Structure 1
Amino acid sequence: MVDVVEVVEEQRFEARDADGSLLGISAYDAQGSTVVFTHTEVLPAAEGRGVGSGLVRGALDQVRASGRDVVALCPFVKAWIERHPEYQDLVRVPA
């Protein structure tokens, strides 16, 4: 289980463990009410533990709660959304 926090000033979501140690990030570009995910990275020591999935799920839950939508340029986020149809309503097709 990871805690996911949005760091608005750095335009990223962070996955942290119970001690607050950084496990991974999902960077985005804020464009009005749209969150354009550009890159997701999990620290090597945390790979294979579901951190990336927890990070994306937590980030998308926060995006939904704030009324924003998503453009998934990051291949990891895009693939994750494709595997989880319950999040596809958040996706905005870029113009």
Structure 2
Amino acid sequence: TRGHIECKGLILKDGIIHAIPEIEGTLTGTELSHEAAVGKIARHEIEYLMARGLSEEEATATIIRGFLDVKISGLPEVLQKQIDAAIDKAESGF
């Protein structure tokens, strides 16, 4: 058997994230992997994009869209629309 969990979180403003991803295997030879990333947008990343002509809001939105742009093969269309709506909301200033 094989298992993989992927978890990403992005803290915006004064938000918090609490995630407990768990993966358990009980069979000999089971292959399990886990990946998790949680972080804030680094100021230097925003300033880098601003130095190339973007406003602070555009720079932040660009980073958020890149982080949240999730295209998963086989994902139900209704869920993809919810993800896209959340990204659009974040881009419009939360």
Normalised by the length of structure 1, the TM-score is: 0.28
TM-score for the superposition, normalised by structure 2: 0.29
Larger Rg: 2
